[in-house]
C-alpha cells in the first residue's frame, strides 16, 4: 500500500498549491497512491478541520485527515484540536511559517497530542533546535519532522542533523516530502531505519503538472535501491503503522 503522508487540501481560498479532494484523488489514481494524509492550512483551525472532514466524508477509503493547529484570538483552539482527534483525525499539523513554535504556542499542542496519541507533523523551517526541544520535553508525543528538516533543503548538514535528532530521540519520525536530494532518504534508512521515514508528495502542484509532481518523487524513492521491505515501509508501511490505518 502506497500512502502519501503529506498532501495539502484546498480550504476555499486562492492558495496556488492546494486543491480540492476530487483533484487529490484523481492524482492518486493516476500515480498509484492508495491513501493520502490531507490537511488544510492558511486558514484557522476550525475551518481547516471542516475542510478535511468534508474531504474525508467524500473519500473515506482514500483520505486520512490531520487537524491544523493555529492560535486564535477568539477561541481556544486546543479544544477544537481535541474534538478533531475524537472525531477520528489521525494527526496534527503545525507550520512555523504560519505560527511560531515557541513553548507557549507549541507546548499545549504537543501535550494534547501526547495525551491523545496523535502524531504532530511539524514544518520547522530548518529550526531543528526547536524540534529537539519539543521531542525532549514531550517524549510521549510522536513528532514527524517535515521535509527532512527544511523544505527543498540543499544543505546535507542540516538533513543529517535532522537524522541525528531522530537518532537521539526515539519519538521522532522523518517526513521525506519536499526532498530534492533523495539520496538522503537512503542514508536515513541506514541510520534510523525505514520504520521511521514517511514518504509524501507535498502536493498537489501544477509544476510541471499535477501527476508528475507526485509521480516523480515516488519514482525517486523506488530508484534508491532500497530492499523491498524498506521501500514498502517508506512508501506506506511506516505511515500505516504510525497512524493505525
Ligand atoms: Zn507541505
- Averaged pLDDT for residues 50-72: 96
Answer for the pair 220, 68: CB distance below 8 angstroms, yes or no. Answer: no
Q: C-alpha distances in angstroms, 190 versus 186, 193, 218?
A: 6, 6, 19
CA of 24 to the centre of ligand 1 (A): 14
pTM, full prediction: 0.96
Q: Which structural domain, as residue segments, surrounds residue 9?
A: 3-243
Instruction: Mark the residues whose beta carbon lies below 5 A from ion ligand 1.
Output: 202
CA of 17 to the centre of ligand 1 (A): 9
CA of 190 to the centre of ligand 1 (A): 25
The predicted pLDDT at position 133 comes to 98
Integer Cα distance of 81 and 223 in angstroms = 38
CA of 116 to the centre of ligand 1 (A): 23
Whether 14 shows a pLDDT value over 60: the answer reads: no
- Compute the mean pLDDT over every residue in the chain, rounded to the nearest whole number: 95
Integer Cα distance of 186 and 226 in angstroms = 7
Whether 10 shows a pLDDT value over 90: the answer reads: no
State the SS3 of 194-219.
Answer: HHHEECCCCECCCCCCHHHHHHHHHH
Beta-sheet pairing, 3-8 with 197-198: unpaired
- Averaged pLDDT for residues 69-80: 96
**Which position has the grid cell 499539523?**
93
The predicted pLDDT at position 205 comes to 87
**Number of structural domains the chain divides into:** 1
Three-class secondary structure of residue 76 per DSSP: coil
pLDDT per residue over 136-173, tens digit each? 999 999 999 999 999 999 999 999 999 999 999 999 99
Of the chain, the percentage scoring pLDDT greater than 70 comes to 97
pLDDT per residue over 196-232, tens digit each? 999 999 988 888 999 999 999 999 999 999 999 999 9
CATH assignment at residue 207: 3.20.20.140
Please confirm whether the linkage preceding 242 is cis (ω < 30° from 0): no
Whether 49 shows a pLDDT value over 90: the answer reads: yes
Amino acid at each position: 500500500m502506497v500512502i502519501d503522508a503529506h498532501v495539502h487540501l484546498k480550504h476555499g481560498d486562492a492558495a496556488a498549491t492546494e486543491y480540492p479532494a476530487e483533484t487529490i484523488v484523481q492524482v492518486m489514481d493516476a500515480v498509484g497512491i492508495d491513501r493520502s494524509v490531507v490537511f488544510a492550512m492558511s486558514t484557522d483551525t476550525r475551518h481547516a478541520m471542516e475542510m478535511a472532514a468534508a474531504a474525508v466524508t467524500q473519500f473515506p477509503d482514500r483520505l486520512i485527515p490531520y487537524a491544523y493547529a493555529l492560535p486564535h484570538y477568539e477561541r481556544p483552539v486546543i479544544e477544537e484540536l481535541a474534538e478533531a482527534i475524537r472525531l477520528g483525525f489521525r494527526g496534527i499539523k503545525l507550520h512555523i511559517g504560519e505560527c511560531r513554535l515557541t513553548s507557549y504556542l507549541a507546548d499545549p499542542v504537543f501535550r494534547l497530542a501526547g495525551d491523545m496519541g496523535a502524531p504532530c507533523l511539524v514544518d520547522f523551517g530548518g529550526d531543528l533546535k526547536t524540534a529537539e526541544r519539543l521531542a525532549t520535553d514531550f517524549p510521549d508525543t510522536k513528532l514527524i519532522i517535515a521535509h527532512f528538516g527544511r523544505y527543498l533543503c540543499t544543505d546535507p548538514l542540516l538533513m543529517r542533523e535532522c537524522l541525528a535528532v531522530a537518532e537521539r530521540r526515539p519519538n521522532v519520525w522523518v517526513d521525506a516530502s519536499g526532498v530534492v536530494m533523495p539520496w538522503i532518504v537512503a542514508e536515513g534508512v541506514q541510520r534510523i531505519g525505514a520504520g521511521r521515514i514517511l514518504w509524501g508528495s507535498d502536493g498537489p502542484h501544477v509544476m510541471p503538472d499535477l501527476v508528475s509532481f507526485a509521480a516523480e518523487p515516488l519514482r525517486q524513492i523506488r530508484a534508491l535501491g532500497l530492499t523491498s521491505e524498506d521501500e514498502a515501509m517508506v512508501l506506506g508501511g511506516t505511515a500505516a503503522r504510525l497512524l493505525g490505518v
